[in-house]
A and B are shown apart, each in its own frame.
Chain A
Amino acid sequence: MIPPELVAKKGDWVKSKWIELLKWIDKTNRVIAGAGVRVQNMPSGGLYISADPSSSVWASPFEASIVSVGKTHRLRVSPGAVNGVIPTIEGVRINGIDDKGATVRVPQLEVLPPSGNRSNVYLRLAMGPDFMAFDPDDPRAATIVHGEPIKEDSEGGAIIRDGAVLYALSAIYWRDGKVVRTFQIVHHNLNHRYVQAMDGRPSRHLFWAA
């Protein structure tokens, strides 16, 4: 859109139009850096424009992705370990390697949209009778589950439910039954440890980056 006062007509004085044009150039001829771009005016004149394409790729452990076909949503989680143990989905390790070292189909979990606009992918550790540790040899002890976010009873992010400890790995955002975006919460393999209560300090299930 060209401002009408800049448009010349036959018989106009060049000088006044020239001044209008200079003012317009001064006002509008600016380079504006959008997100991810840096513009610097150089002392000698000219612009130095640099864009950061953020091209690096981080293959995060436990990275969740959802493939949707129609109204069916299937969750897949990239390999990750807790205390060196690879969790399972429906009895199959998420790295797609069985007990004998053979490659099997990488498991997927069918999930349903949540009642709200967010759901979580959880690491679920089924605790042993003493509620202190999970059995690393039990393929059902460390599993991947999907569910609604739980705000209550969280201690350092660990949530106790039904004899198990849940820890959120990824957040999935939904709208009208469709996944709109996914953000990773855990970016590392994890360590888990149960800390007994002592001297006013509560007992805890701690998770931290390995």
Chain B
Amino acid sequence: MIIDAAIQRAESIPQEEFRISAAEWNDAIEVYNSCRPVVIRGWSGGGWAHPWEVTPFWSGERERWECTIHPGYVNGLDTEVIVRREQAPEETIERIGEGETVAAYLAELPRIPLSALRRIGGDAAPIGVSGDGALSYESAPSFFRALGAADGLMVDDDNRRLLRACDIVLTVPRAAARAEWATGAGIDGTFAQFSVLYSPEPERRNGRISIVPRYDPAPPPDDAAMLRGDIDDRPFDQLLVATVYLLSPAQAESGSMPDASWSAHVRHGLFWNLSHAVNRQPFAPAGDNLTFPAPLAGGVGQALINSLLAVINDNAAAIRAYLSRRALTGRFWSV
């Protein structure tokens, strides 16, 4: 009503004679200030959220993008995430007490900062170089290309948008296997011994969430690494929970980082709670190893001698068979 009255008055006065009174000015600001939207919230209304459901939002208070994750469970245990103490939920502080950083349970509904972001398309850094020297870039998903995110190098387009992303990863600890060569002197000459050792069962059994710019699953060890004894198994298994994408408004400045004007999108990779187990008991009985009369570990030179190749191949096959019976593999399944 105040605005309408001000407009009517303005229209009734010739342009040259128009003046704004201080009172009208202040009234206009008052109206604007009372009407401007600050935060729009979605109200779930008690709807169902699946486990691991990620909800990103802009925190005006902390001026950064954060997310909450609907609690997910592995083996029925609370999943945790490391947060700074001053930003941890009250329940976490009560449960843990001291510490600069604390492991909050997802069930305590911590707000997790989305700070480890990678750039995709547009102003992104290259992720590789081909043989002919051409740079390669992570391509933007088609959904974002349709919205104006550049794919590859930035193009000078008035409608171009920038894209940032981060991956949310679930890590579950487990025992790990390690291959080991030992050489020594026997009665009838030198020998090499190949064995698999296991790290102790982890003290922490809870799954843990982390935010990383890019999740790269570890490749399985190759045959050559196995023969060298380089199968340092990682003492955990990982799964991609979700990828959070942040899309800029049109004409965003190259290199700018997400603020409240960006929009968030989530691609989920996990929808159900999980069970997790390893395939075998991480226990190596004494004397459970392979012994070779020839020094295979130092046998690179021998490999050049044709007469010994067959022996080496036999030994390699024996090692593969041995490893296949002793390697630890973690498995997830949904419940």
Known: A157-B75, A188-B335. A29 touches B36 (CB 8 A): yes
Q: How far, in angstroms, from A70 to B132 measured CA to CA in the complex? A: 75
Q: How far, in angstroms, from A53 to B42 measured CA to CA in the complex? A: 6
Contact residues, A30-88 vs B (CB, 8 A)? 30-41, 43, 49, 51-58
* Contact mask for chain B residues 280-302; partner A; CB cutoff 8 A; 1 contact, 0 none: 11000000000000000000000
Interface range, A side: 35 or more
Are B333 and A208 closer than 8 Å at their CB atoms?
A: yes
Are B76 and A120 closer than 8 Å at their CB atoms?
A: yes
Q: How far, in angstroms, from A9 to B21 measured CA to CA in the complex? A: 9
Are B107 and A207 closer than 8 Å at their CB atoms?
A: no
Q: How far, in angstroms, from A119 to B39 measured CA to CA in the complex? A: 36
Smallest Cβ-Cβ distance to B94: which chain A residue? A117
* Contact mask for chain B residues 160-182; partner A; CB cutoff 8 A; 1 contact, 0 none: 00000000000000000000000
Known: A36-B41, A40-B263. A187 touches B76 (CB 8 A): no
In the complex, which of the residues B20, B250, B326 contacts A41, with contact meaning CB atoms closer than 8 Å? B250
Are A201 and B57 closer than 8 Å at their CB atoms?
A: no
Residues of B within 8 A of A118 (CB): 78, 107
Are A187 and B78 closer than 8 Å at their CB atoms?
A: no
Are B40 and A21 closer than 8 Å at their CB atoms?
A: no
Q: How far, in angstroms, from A156 to B37 measured CA to CA in the complex? A: 49
* Contact mask for chain A residues 99-111; partner B; CB cutoff 8 A; 1 contact, 0 none: 0000000000000
Of the listed residues A17, A31, A199, the one surrounded by the most CB atoms of chain B closer than 10 A to its CB is A31
Residues of A within 8 A of B37 (CB): 31
Are B29 and A2 closer than 8 Å at their CB atoms?
A: yes
Residues of A within 8 A of B247 (CB): 40
Are A41 and B42 closer than 8 Å at their CB atoms?
A: no
The smallest C-beta distance from A160 to any residue of chain B, in angstroms, reads 14
Binds B, one of A89-97, A127-135, A136-144, A178-186: A178-186
Asked if B43 is at the interface (CB within 8 A of a chain A CB), the reply is yes
Known: A30-B261, A157-B335, A181-B107. A200 touches B273 (CB 8 A): no
A-B CB proximity, top 8 nearest: A36-B42, A168-B76, A34-B41, A54-B47, A156-B277, A41-B249, A157-B75, A8-B22
14 A–B contacts from the bound complex (CB under 8 Å): A10-B21, A21-B29, A31-B37, A31-B40, A33-B40, A35-B56, A151-B205, A155-B277, A156-B275, A157-B335, A168-B73, A187-B272, A208-B275, A208-B335
A residues adjacent to B (C-beta < 8 A): 1-2, 6-10, 12, 14, 17, 21, 25, 28-41, 43, 49, 51-58, 117-118, 120, 149, 151, 154-157, 167-168, 171, 173, 175, 181, 183-188, 190, 199-202, 204, 206-209
Supply 10 further A-B pairs (C-beta < 8 A) apart from A31-B260, A120-B76, A187-B272. Answer: A12-B22, A36-B55, A43-B148, A51-B40, A156-B75, A175-B91, A185-B73, A185-B273, A188-B334, A200-B281
